[in-house]
Amino acid sequence: MTDTAHRVVLAARPEGRATTDHLRHESFDLPEPGPGEVLLRTIWLSLDPYMRGRMSDAKSYATPVAIDETMTGQTVGEVIASNHDGFAPGDIATGMTGWTDRAVMKGDELRKLDPTRAPLQTALGILGMPGMTAWTGLTRILEAKKGQTIVISAATGAVGSVAGQLAHARGLRVVGVAGGPEKCAHATGNLGYDTCIDHHAHADGEAMARAIGEAAPNGVDLYFENVGGKTLAGVVPNMNDHGRIAICGMVAWYAGENLEDAISGPTIWRNLLTRKLRAEGFIIFDHWDRFPTFLDEVAPMVADGTITYRESVTDGLENAPKAFVGMLAGDNFGKTLVRVGPDP
């Protein structure tokens, strides 16, 4: 017997900026769970910038979503039926079910959550992949130390907001770059940033370089790179000798826009050489073995309020495409989430 559920599929591949026309909300026939499988009702869907990459068929570290295929994504859901020994109806679990209101998944591909530990959606944000990314970039890639000066771009977003608070807690001077005065006020007022630069107020890499120079009078030791564009062009000339750059993302360029803001290859190469910089890209899935260590360190900081978080919540799976497109343009304030169904 089949049942009807809803999902969002990739309707067309964007050239440049993604729009809601590239995604389609539709119904589909949901199969019954087979042996070892679990039927889930989605409560929370995470929206993340990496999904823009999956909409393209350019060669990458992950397989692209096919046309008419359900958009990839992590969710938190409630178990409705289970043929897996590890799950029973009423359990809460997280997994890569995609943009759908119900899903049949292999139980082995799900992680059970303790709903008494923290609000369920934190498993998609501060206590999930984005928080883990911030912690990994700061501790494993940058090896941040007390007294250093760090610049963090997309400073108030899902990753940046955690990186900023962790850097502050470790005693660094923390300089944020964010879009608009409201986000900057949040960065300095609530997230522990010592200062914050509004990138909308600085036209190009040279203007950004001047602003960053003023914000970091002793130079920049560490850069947590989330955006690329004119922010990267502004940071590099301010780097101190032996500085480090953790290349986490480059959301300013995901749509093929702002390419004119790029720092030239020879300039970045010369700076890497003469300032003896180390730049290292990282993909969080390679670091997943450390997830329990991350939780042990960060979950108590969230529980005691040392680290706070903010969320941009949209209701209804059918509204996910608009929320996703808005997030890529900076409309979100904190972790971007869709409430697909009621949270028990």
Q: How far is the CB of 128 from ligand NDP (least distance, A)?
A: 10
186 forms part of the interface with ligand NDP (CB under 6 A): no
Residue 211 binds ligand NDP (CB under 6 A): no
Phi and psi at residue 44, in whole multiples of 5°?
A: -125, 135
Smaller CB separation from ligand NDP, 102 or 186: 186
What are the strands, taking DSSP E only, across the chain? 3-10, 23-30, 37-46, 75-82, 92-95, 102-106, 111-113, 149-153, 173-178, 195-198, 220-225, 239-247, 278-281, 311-315, 335-339
* C-alpha–C-alpha distance, residues 189 and 123, integer Å: 25
Stretch that binds ligand NDP, among 113-121, 214-222, 236-244, 326-334 (CB under 6 A): 326-334
Cβ–Cβ < 8 Å for 161, 172: no
Nearest to 76 by CA among 37, 124, 32, 119: 124
208 sits near ligand NDP (criterion: CB under 6 A): no
User: Is 314 a residue that touches ligand NDP (CB under 6 A)?
Assistant: no
Does position 10 interact with ligand NDP (CB under 6 A)? The reply is no
Q: Which residue, 93 or 197, is less far from ligand NDP as judged by CB?
A: 197
Q: Where are the alpha helices (DSSP H) in 105-257?
A: 129-136, 158-169, 181-190, 205-215, 229-235
Stretch that binds ligand NDP, among 36-44, 66-74, 164-172, 330-338 (CB under 6 A): 330-338
If the CB atoms of residues 28 and 282 are measured against ligand NDP, the closer one turns out to be 282
At residue 197, the 3 state secondary structure works out as strand
For position 330 contacting ligand NDP by CB under 6 A, the verdict is: yes
Number of residues forming the site for ligand NDP (CB under 6 A)? 32
Q: Please report how close the Cβ of residue 289 comes to ligand NDP at its closest, in angstroms.
A: 14
Segment interacting with ligand NDP, rule: CB under 6 A, options 10-18, 56-64, 158-166, 262-270:
158-166
Work out the end-to-end distance of the chain between its first and last CA atoms, rounded to an integer number of angstroms.
Answer: 27
- HSE (side-chain half, CA atoms, 13 Å) at 182: 6
Query: Of residues 29-58, which lie at the interface with ligand NDP (CB under 6 A)?
Result: 48-50
DSSP 100: B
Question: Rule CB under 6 A: is residue 327 a binding residue for ligand NDP?
Answer: yes
User: Which tokens sit at 104?
Assistant: 């049949």
Shortest distance (Å) from residue 136 CB to ligand NDP = 8
Residue of the chain from 70, 74, 148, 226 that contacts ligand NDP (CB under 6 A): 226
Residue 128 within binding range of ligand NDP, rule CB under 6 A: no
**Min CB(320)–ligand NDP separation in Å:** 15
**Is the separation of the CB atoms in 207 and 184 below 8 Å?**
no
The answer to whether 227 contacts ligand NDP (rule: CB under 6 A) is: yes
298: left (phi over 0), alpha (psi -120 to 50) or beta: alpha
Judged by the rule CB under 6 A, the positions of this chain that interact with ligand NDP are: 48-50, 130, 133, 154, 156-160, 178-179, 183, 199, 226-227, 229, 231, 248-252, 258, 282-284, 327, 330, 332, 336
